[in-house]
A and B are shown apart, each in its own frame.
Chain A
Amino acid sequence: DAGITQSPRYKITETGRQVTLMCHQTWSHSYMFWYRQDLGHGLRLIYYSAAADITDKGEVPDGYVVSRSKTENFPLTLESATRSQTSVYFCASSEGGGSGANVLTFGAGSRLTVL
């Protein structure tokens, strides 16, 4: 399917477990992003990537790890999940260069609950 897909859509895990959220886009967009959405905070940037093998921290990177070995994939890993990481996670992508880099297209989200 064309577009940007996230998996799993729903995940329940326990404190201390490792969790990986997957993100795949079919447009060959240069930029990819991970945001978390929490009540009262809106969308906050966790990590972003301008190209394969290039990643940068966003506003709330602590407790998360990302990688970008292929342009189309941008997995987000919680190495040891905590209850404060219960959230809805959104992956997004955008074209590279100029103003196009700022026009993000979002996936449908992954709802993570940490017990």
Chain B
Amino acid sequence: GQQLNQSPQSMFIQEGEDVSMNCTSSSIFNTWLWYKQDPGEGPVLLIALYKAGELTSNGRLTAQFGTTRKDSFLNISASIPSDVGIYFCAGQLRGGSQGNLIFGKGTKLSVKP
């Protein structure tokens, strides 16, 4: 099936550092979403992106819809301990069914106080 390549797989950072992660694909996407999952919980939506080149912020989080429509980036500025969790990108393929998303395998973020 279609794949999203999400990197890095895991990150260990110091509190206060900035974080960057990304998802890439060989296919074109109409929508990109970024989710965060805390242990024992379901993923929670952070940011949704709908247009190529779109840059959207949610507090310390900023995500971009790549101009080629084949990638997306998530940045977290000034990380804090509660940023710990697994971050997933998800996308809807161009021509794909509405609601039928493909998920990346996740980036596990650990923050050292």
Contacts and interface: CB of A to CB of B under 8 A. Distances in A.
A103 B100 CA distance: 10
- Interface of chain B, main secondary structure: loop
Interface of A: 31, 33, 35, 40-45, 48, 50, 56, 58-59, 90, 92, 94, 97-99, 101-109
Interface of B: 1, 6, 31, 33, 35, 40-45, 48, 50, 88, 90, 92, 97-101, 103-106
Contacts of A109: 40-42
Contacts of B1: 59
A45 B90 CA distance: 12
B41 A102 contact: no
Given A35-B103, A102-B48, A109-B42, 6 more contacts: A42-B103, A45-B101, A50-B99, A58-B100, A94-B99, A99-B48
A31 B99 contact: yes
